């Protein structure tokens, strides 16, 4: 299958405010690799109105790990970015401790290759793959909360339908949602497909208000507001 000339337009898979990480506007491949079709993937971390990812900090924040339940993103509803047929569901990966501490991140990063050898689930966590109605692409939503997935393979979903909750499963340092598009359901053989989001508000890093955006990608470290 050929990569389309125009990016695939999808909806944001959530409501509320989220901070952008690993935007393809910053670099491509956005996650530093083409592996698992992550070429144009993008991450979103749930925040409150003050832009915080969690309500408190403690010595665990600086030196250790923290429970995923502490973070605003954890448990937020995650929605189907496109209508279509669910082609793959993977659940059963545990939601592990979150790591804001640089000290705690070092051993975690060193374990990356080991997780990769364990398979896609150890990287993507719990995830849902949805084939678009025309069969032209497959959209993946990753790092869902263990046991929260509400859909099954073969099921047809509506755009905006809840498919699970945000979690901290797989290769995730704190609760967030990862979105990517690819040209086939198997991430090991697929190629990444560029995507844009149909409609959202974006507050830039030094901005004070949300600017309406259509059929665009948000900037790295900006905050998006889903309609």
pTM over cut 0.85: yes
**Cis peptide, bond prior to residue 29, ω within 30 of zero:** yes
For the segment 141-154, the average pLDDT, to the nearest whole number, is: 98
**Among 208, 161, 197, which Cα is nearest to 42's?**
197
For the segment 217-225, the average pLDDT, to the nearest whole number, is: 98
Q: What pLDDT sits at residue 86?
A: 98
**Among 59, 61, 28, 53, which Cα is nearest to 42's?**
28
pLDDT tens, position by position, 189-207: 999 999 999 999 999 999 9
pLDDT tens, position by position, 41-79: 999 999 999 999 999 877 577 667 899 999 999 999 999
pLDDT tens, position by position, 5-29: 689 999 999 999 999 999 999 999 9
85: Cβ–Cβ under 8 A, 6 or more apart, which residues?
A: 130, 131, 154, 155, 156, 157
**Among 17, 31, 164, 180, which Cα is nearest to 95's?**
164
Are the C-beta atoms of 104 and 64 separated by less than 8 Å? yes
Percent of the chain clearing pLDDT 90 (strictly above): 81
In this structure, of 10-14, 97-101, 214-218, the range with the lowest mean pLDDT score is 97-101
């Amino acid at each position: 299958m050929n990569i389309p000339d125009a990016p695939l337009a999808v909806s944001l898979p959530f409501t509320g405010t989220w901070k952008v990480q690993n935007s393809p506007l910053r670099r491509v491949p956005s996650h530093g690799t083409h592996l698992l079709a992550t070429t144009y993937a993008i991450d979103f971390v749930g925040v409150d109105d003050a832009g915080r990812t969690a309500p408190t900090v403690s010595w665990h924040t600086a030196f250790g790990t923290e429970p995923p339940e502490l973070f605003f993103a954890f448990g937020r509803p995650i929605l189907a970015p496109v209508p279509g047929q669910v082609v793959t569901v993977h659940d059963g990966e545990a939601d592990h401790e979150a790591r804001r501490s640089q000290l705690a991140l070092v051993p975690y990063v060193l374990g990356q290759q080991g997780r990769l050898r364990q398979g896609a689930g150890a990287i993507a966590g719990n995830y849902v793959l949805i084939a678009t109605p025309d069969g032209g692409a497959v959209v993946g939503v990753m790092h869902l909360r263990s046991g929260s997935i509400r859909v099954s393979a073969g099921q047809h979903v509506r755009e905006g339908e809840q498919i699970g909750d945000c979690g901290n499963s797989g290769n995730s340092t704190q609760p967030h949602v990862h979105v990517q598009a690819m040209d086939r359901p198997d991430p090991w053989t697929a190629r990444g497909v560029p995507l844009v989001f149909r409609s959202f508000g974006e507050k830039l890093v030094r901005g004070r208000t949300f600017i309406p955006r259509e059929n665009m990608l948000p900037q790295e470290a900006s905050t998006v507001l889903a309609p």
